[in-house]
Structure 1
Amino acid sequence: MTRDEARAVWAASGLTYADLTLGNLQSLRDLINAEMKQSDLFAPSGRTGGTYRMNAKIDADIGVEGWWAALTCRAYYFKNREAVTFNGGGFIGFAGWSDETNVQPILAGFSNWVASLTSQERKAA
């Protein structure tokens, strides 16, 4: 999956920033974290298992251009890099620092999260 394909999943879902809540963002963090753990990415030399994980802290607020939120990640050699950002103006960023391999757990977790939110909305309707 590419970053643009993940953005298309969001756009096709009908979800908006108005659907973002702290609880939903925590679910997103948890789903991405599970994908990161399964990926075994960022394993130090001579060690089994990866160290790729989500950070617990979620930064979110309402700014001049509306909602924004930032979820960050870490591994054995970095501590606070972008995983997913919901930026003012509606742009969603996905690990801009990452290559196409290391972004995959983030995109998979995001897509699963969008599917779970749309499923919840259908049940509520």
Structure 2
Amino acid sequence: MARPANNNYAAAVMVVALLVAAPAASAVTCGQVVSMLAPCIMYATGRVSAPTGGCCDGVRTLNSAAATTADRQTTCACLKQQTSAMGGLRPDLVAGIPSKCDVNIPYAISPSTDCSRVH
């Protein structure tokens, strides 16, 4: 049981990170992205009807931490990598997390997002 929960947790965190666009080549690490977005897993898997306060706090923190283009591109790539490795995430819910948390990010959260074009 620990494995599915861990996979969903990691997937949700990565999805949220994509949405928020944080880490890149130096300031933020993929591990930090996952940690900040972990509270979003329950929403990203459809287990709760809205992102929690902790989820939105993580999204805001990550968005603020992604101060450079490199940070945002790194965050994007980390999220894409992590979400593709995990199951149970609902792409429609993941894509909507930033707006649900009143956070604007400079790209769409999608498996087709070209992270090299994120600025």
Which band: TM-score by shorter chain? 0.3 to 0.5
Higher share of residues assigned helix? 2
Higher share of residues assigned strand? 1
> Higher relative contact order by CA 8 Å / sep ≥ 6: 1 or 2?
2
Structure 1 or 2, whichever has the larger Rg, is 1
TM-score normalised per structure 2: 0.32
